[in-house]
Amino acid sequence: MRIFVLGVGATGSYLVKLLLRQGHHVTCGDRDPERARRFLGETVPVAVERVNGRNRWSVIKASRGAQLIVNMLPSVCNRTVLRAALHVRAHYLDTAAHLTKSPFRAEQLQFTRRFIEKRRTAVITAGVAPGLTNLLAAAAADSLDAVETVRVRLYESTESEHPVSQWSAEVSFDEAVSRPRLYRDGRFLLGRRFGEREMFRFPAPIGSVPVMLAAQDEVVTLPHVIPLRSMDVKIGGSDVDRLRRWYRQGKLRKSRGLVSSRFPRTPTPGTVDV
């Protein structure tokens, strides 16, 4: 299959390697080809074209001939890449929603009819969380007669003297400054940032740690396809504890913008000490 991967960072570069191992023909695009190459490594036989993910024609030009476009960019680029995929008649996959115009409905859903008309498939919010979390919840729901409540509990911990962005800095910042979405008694609503703190017992060796509300896409995807009454997502670990501390100190505000010292660029494999 001819696959175009747009966004060759920590996750995109790993996906490229997996697709090549499976025998697919892979081409890549990124705003910074030199940095993308550092993620891929010198031995991966794939060229990386410079592409502006916010410009539809830049994406169209780079992806012509692809049967599938994999959008690994920050979700703010979703609409642009979806339109490009429709133009080149490619199938589409992304990892998350941006939820700008509607906080409770993924923006990708407005393209459903157009993909059906083109006889193409779009798989959305197919990352880790959301993505795997949605699949696990759906699999559990399929084995039950009915589901009233879904509670997703995540743990993220990075041991470092300085902040480390596991995802892109833009995605990490966007999640940190957004209000959590909740689904309560059949209604969507916005929760308090880092609110509803509680103790949750994870499997060993983590054990019991405090978890708190987080802005995650699962809450605005699952209730649209599984009959539920309530759903929320909470995260625990050193990463969210650091964000909560900055928030309480007044250092975490959307108006202040992304501060690179708190949300550094995702480190390449070569810059991480193992």
Give the pTM: 0.87
Tell me: do 28 and 78 sit in the same domain. Answer: yes
Q: Per the domain annotation, does 189 fall within a domain?
A: yes
CA dist 60 and 102 (Å) reads 26
Residue where a domain terminates, one of 77, 93, 123: 123
Q: Per the domain annotation, does 132 fall within a domain?
A: no
Q: Per the domain annotation, does 128 fall within a domain?
A: no
Q: Per the domain annotation, does 226 fall within a domain?
A: yes
Tell me: do 176 and 258 sit in the same domain. Answer: yes
Which residues 6+ apart lie within 8 Å of 31 measured at CB? 50, 51, 52, 53
Tell me: do 117 and 148 sit in the same domain. Answer: no
Which domain range does residue 41 map to? 2-123
Q: Do the beta carbons of residue 83 and residue 56 sit within 8 Å? A: yes
Tell me: do 263 and 217 sit in the same domain. Answer: yes
Say what the pLDDT of residue 201 is. 97
Max Cα distance, the chain (Å): 53
Tell me: do 90 and 163 sit in the same domain. Answer: no
Per-residue pLDDT of the chain (274 residues; tens, 9 = 90+): 999 999 999 899 999 999 999 999 999 999 999 999 999 998 999 999 999 999 999 999 999 999 999 999 999 999 999 999 999 999 999 999 998 788 999 999 999 999 999 999 999 999 988 999 999 999 999 999 999 999 999 999 887 777 777 777 777 888 888 899 999 999 999 999 999 999 999 999 999 999 999 999 999 999 999 999 999 999 999 989 988 998 898 888 888 788 887 877 777 766 665 4
Tell me: do 146 and 110 sit in the same domain. Answer: no
Tell me: do 84 and 46 sit in the same domain. Answer: yes
Residue where a domain terminates, one of 95, 123, 151: 123
Q: What is the enclosing helix (H) or strand (E) of 212? A: strand 207-213
Q: Per the domain annotation, does 274 fall within a domain?
A: no
Tell me: do 46 and 116 sit in the same domain. Answer: yes
Q: Per the domain annotation, does 239 fall within a domain?
A: yes
Which residues 6+ apart lie within 8 Å of 143 measured at CB? none
Tell me: do 112 and 207 sit in the same domain. Answer: no
Token couple for 221: 């995807």
Single-letter residue type at 212: M
CA dist 202 and 204 (Å) reads 7
Tell me: do 178 and 215 sit in the same domain. Answer: yes
Tell me: do 196 and 88 sit in the same domain. Answer: no
CA dist 26 and 147 (Å) reads 40
As for how many domains the chain has, the answer is 2
Q: What is the CATH number of the domain that holds 77?
A: 3.40.50.720
Own/partner long-range contacts of 189-195 (Cβ < 8 Å, ≥24 apart): 190/103, 191/232, 193/247, 194/240, 194/243, 194/244, 194/247
Task: Find how far residue 57's CA is from the centre of its chain.
Answer: 24
Say what the pLDDT of residue 86 is. 98
Say what the pLDDT of residue 261 is. 77
Which residues 6+ apart lie within 8 Å of 30 measured at CB? 6, 7, 8, 9, 12, 36, 48, 49, 50, 51
Tell me: do 116 and 162 sit in the same domain. Answer: no
Q: Per the domain annotation, does 186 fall within a domain?
A: yes
Q: What is the CATH number of the domain that holds 155?
A: 3.30.360.10
Q: Per the domain annotation, does 9 fall within a domain?
A: yes
